[in-house]
Amino acid sequence: MHAAVNRYASRGHKQARLIDRVDPVVYSNNSVAGPLAPEFIEEYIENGFVLIEGLFTDEEIHALQQETVRLRDDPETRLMQETITEPGNGEVRSVFMVHANNTLFRRLAADPRLAGIAQYILNDDVYIHQSRLNYKPGFRGKEFYWHADFETWHMEDGMPAMRALSISVTLTENLACNGPLMLIPGSHMEYAVCPGVTPDAHYKQSLKKQGYGIPDDLCLGNLVARHGIALATGKPGTVVIFDCNTMHGSGSNITPYPRSNVFYVYNAISNRLETPISGQPPRPEYIAGRKDIEIIPRRIPS
| Ordered per-residue pLDDT tens for the chain, 302 residues | 344 445 898 988 788 999 999 999 999 986 667 899 999 999 999 999 999 999 999 999 999 999 999 999 999 998 899 998 877 777 888 999 999 999 999 999 999 999 999 999 999 999 999 999 999 989 988 888 999 999 999 999 999 999 999 999 999 999 999 999 999 999 999 999 998 877 776 555 555 455 568 899 999 999 999 999 999 999 999 999 999 999 999 999 999 999 999 999 999 999 999 999 888 899 999 999 999 899 999 875 54
Bridge partners of residue 210, in order along the sequence: none
Return the pLDDT at 300. Answer: 58
- What are the two backbone dihedrals, phi and then psi, of residue 33, each rounded to the nearest 5 degrees? -65, 140
CB 110 within 8 A of CB 128: no
CB 51 within 8 A of CB 240: yes
pTM of full prediction above 0.85: yes
What is the residue extent of each domain of the chain?
A: 3-21+48-271
Residue burial 77-102, b: 16+ Cβ < 10 Å; e: rest: eeeeebbbebeeeebbbbbbbbbbeb
Return the pLDDT at 173. Answer: 95
Of residues 13, 107, 86, the one with CA closest to residue 296? 107
Within a 10 A sphere around the Cβ of 74, how many other Cβ atoms? 14
Distance CA 116, CA 293 (A): 18
List CB contacts of 299: < 8 A, sequence separation 6 or more.
Answer: 112, 115, 116
H runs (alpha helix) in 169-276: 203-206, 217-227
Of residues 11, 13, 21, the one with CA closest to residue 247? 21
Return the pLDDT at 44. Answer: 97
Distance CA 248, CA 271 (A): 22
What fold does the segment set 3-21+48-271 form as a domain? Answer: Jelly Rolls (2.60.120)
Residue burial 20-59, b: 16+ Cβ < 10 Å; e: rest: ebebebbebeeeeebbbeeebbebbbebbbbbbeebbeee
Distance CA 263, CA 233 (A): 15
Return the pLDDT at 6. Answer: 57
